[in-house]
Structure 1
Amino acid sequence: MMKPTYSYFPGYHVFFIFLQIILTSENLMVTTPTGHVVARVGGQAELSCQVTPPRSVAYMDVRWFREDKSKLVYQYRGGHGVDGEAAPEYVKRTEFVSEAIGKGKVALRIHNISIFDDGPYQCSFNDSGFSDVAFMNLSVAAFGLKMQINVQSFGYDGIILECSSVGWFPRPQMEWKDNNGNVVPYSSISYSQNEDRFFFMKITLLLRNQSQESITCCVHNPLTGEEKQTSLIIANALFDENYIKYLIFIFLGISICLCLFYLLILYLMNSAFSITIISHYLQLRNRVFISDPLYSLYNSWMENMAVVIVFIVSLQTMVRPVQLQRELTDGGERDKGRDLPSKCMFRSKSEE
């Protein structure tokens, strides 16, 4: 009678496969091919993660968070994305890239990048017996929209130039350069941020060198290395003393005219006659219906007449006191001429 034989190979085979799975899970780790991603405002960014050694992560739980895990950006679980758990600012702005998911490579694509997306992120992989996290950083860049140089003031010691630019992120570097490309020390520099975190830059320069043909204002984004610049051609007349006096005279003349115009407006507002004219104009204007095909003609005609009447009245009001003063002066001189003969006659009679 033959004794039964037992094969121990299937048992060893199962044990070996189980041990290989455990060792493989222990050796798995999450990495990121690009730990630093740069994206422009309004563009898109791709945050990639992968499992090494390569293996399928189709049924793993994959998540992207902000650095402190306070905000969930996206979650992939059970072979599909999970809706309703991501932070509101990322809803409908994310896309899960899974072309190489069988090799352990996945990515999260964020659309319509804003400055508020700037900062650290992390992606986590979770499975039975395996959990790991990889960290990455997203840097957002914005290029300035507008840049200009203004001449602020003139003086005997030179001119003051101000260069301003808005729409930068992160805070850019700003400097002046002469026509040879050499850096010119600035007088002052300042910056501010609006509610969207865009930087507004301003730099000033007191220019004393009359031999300077041009001056250039440069703004440099330290993140992307891009630079924007604008130049101003300087005329020697700006340093001429007579030219500066001429500009000051023009400025004072314009200021005086504006003050007189303001006083005239105040006088007309207090004038009873002007108020009467305006009230009559409004009454006549209300009588014209909008449906009338000649409404625009009536409206403009009455408006022009009212302006002309107010101008004539105000001019007459300003000229009349001058005329009265002249009449009083001429009348006084005439009275003196009439009194002189009578005084002479009185003295001659008394002498006799």
Structure 2
Amino acid sequence: TEEFTVAGLTRPVLAPLGGNLELSCQVFPPQNAQHMEIRWFRNRYTQPVHLYRNGKDLHGETISKYVERTELLKDDIGKGKVTLRIFNVTADDDGPYHCVFKDGKFYEEHIAEVKVTVTSSDIQIFMHPPNSKGVMLECHSAGWFPLPHMEWRDSKGEVIPEISKSHSQDINKLFNMTMVLLIKASSHRNVTCCLRNLLTHQEESISIILSGKICLCSSCFIKQSQSRSSK
């Protein structure tokens, strides 16, 4: 058996949530890999995402969450190159993938890194009834991945320190964000809640203008998704 190495992309692969993902790897020196075993797995060698052996795709060996979600593109397998395609990407697909070529007892692997990403335009601001300390604003946004950067800004774009910031993850592992700001009397009248995807640098925001009539409000709810920008 001729020895070889396995190579692929060294930089992370960005994968939009709900889209398709492709990961390629190749043996060097280039050679026909049709007779080899080709295995893609996440954490455990014995739990393949996709398995090719004896010239066939063994779909029955695939772990449950990847059943009918993968395809091995073999157009260039004669040169030792294959591409794993994953359909309907979820947040759970984030992380490393091992590509193993095995010829007899000899094997080598390449590890690819997948970064799943999604940006949400669903941002809401809740305004609590004013009290002696001022007006409390809560900004909520759901459906982000990975964990976004979140901050309040004034009319000049300067960051305003928040009282608190928290996050949780839903059943699909998407992040739900909450941030609270206390505005004291005669301070900021125009504030913006900003969230930024740290992978794509896409930013979403919502602004609120507080007028002198604010003391007449018992409670307010604002929802807006039009104020957004990509950077």
TM-score (norm: length of structure 1): 0.59
AA aligned opposite 2:93: D
What is the rounded CA distance, in whole Å, between the counterparts of 1:219 and 1:60 in structure 2?
47
Q: Is the 8 A contact 2:41 2:97 kept in 1?
A: yes
1:67 alignment counterpart: 43
| Deviation at residue 32 of structure 1 after TM alignment | 1.1
2:33 alignment counterpart: 57
Query: How do 1:109-128 and structure 2 match up within 5 A?
Result: 109-128=85-104
| Deviation at residue 50 of structure 1 after TM alignment | 0.4
Residues 1:162 and 1:86: Cα distance change in structure 2 (over 3 Å)? same
Q: 1:187 aligns with which of 163, 183, 195?
A: 163
AA aligned opposite 1:210: S
Residues 1:247 and 1:42: Cα distance change in structure 2 (over 3 Å)? closer
What is the rounded CA distance, in whole Å, between the counterparts of 1:145 and 1:181 in structure 2?
20
Q: 2:57 aligns with which of 68, 73, 81?
A: 81
| Deviation at residue 129 of structure 1 after TM alignment | 5.4
AA aligned opposite 2:204: K
- Relative to total residues, which structure has the larger helix share, 1 or 2? 1
Residues 289-343 of structure 1 show CA distances to partners (whole Å, capped at 9, x for unaligned) of xxxxxxxxxxxxxxxxxxxxxxxxxxxxxxxxxxxxxxxxxxxxxxxxxxxxxxx
Q: 1:151 aligns with which of 127, 148, 171?
A: 127
Q: 1:39 aligns with which of 5, 10, 15?
A: 15
Higher relative CO (CA 8 A, sep ≥ 6), structure 1 or 2? 2
1:100 alignment counterpart: 76
In structure 2, the residue corresponding to 1:124 is in which secondary structure?
A: strand
- Relative to total residues, which structure has the larger strand share, 1 or 2? 2
Structure exhibiting the larger radius of gyration computed from Cα positions: 1
AA aligned opposite 1:65: F
Matched length: 219
| Deviation at residue 75 of structure 1 after TM alignment | 1.0
| Deviation at residue 80 of structure 1 after TM alignment | 2.5
Q: In the alignment, is residue 30 of structure 1 matched against residue 6 of structure 2?
A: yes
In structure 2, the residue corresponding to 1:196 is in which secondary structure?
A: coil
AA aligned opposite 1:46: E
- The 4+ residue runs of structure 1 with deviation greater than 3 A are none
What is the rounded CA distance, in whole Å, between the counterparts of 2:112 and 2:186 in structure 1?
52
TM-score (norm: length of structure 2): 0.88
How well do the aligned residues superpose, as a CA RMSD in angstroms?
Answer: 1.9
AA aligned opposite 1:157: K
Q: Could you tell me the percent identity over the aligned residues?
A: 40
Q: In the alignment, is residue 231 of structure 1 matched against residue 207 of structure 2?
A: yes
AA aligned opposite 2:151: E
What is the rounded CA distance, in whole Å, between the counterparts of 2:217 and 2:20 in structure 1?
51
Query: How do 1:215-254 and structure 2 match up within 5 A?
Result: 215-238=191-214, 244=215, 246-247=216-217
Q: Is the 8 A contact 1:210 1:236 kept in 2?
A: no
1:169 alignment counterpart: 145
What is the rounded CA distance, in whole Å, between the counterparts of 1:206 and 1:156 in structure 2?
11
| Deviation at residue 211 of structure 1 after TM alignment | 5.6
AA aligned opposite 1:234: L
What is the rounded CA distance, in whole Å, between the counterparts of 2:51 and 2:105 in structure 1?
19
In structure 2, the residue corresponding to 1:217 is in which secondary structure?
A: strand
1:90 alignment counterpart: 66
What is the rounded CA distance, in whole Å, between the counterparts of 1:181 and 1:158 in structure 2?
21
* Structure 2 gaps, min length 5: 220-231
| Deviation at residue 117 of structure 1 after TM alignment | 1.3
Q: Is the 8 A contact 2:154 2:188 kept in 1?
A: yes
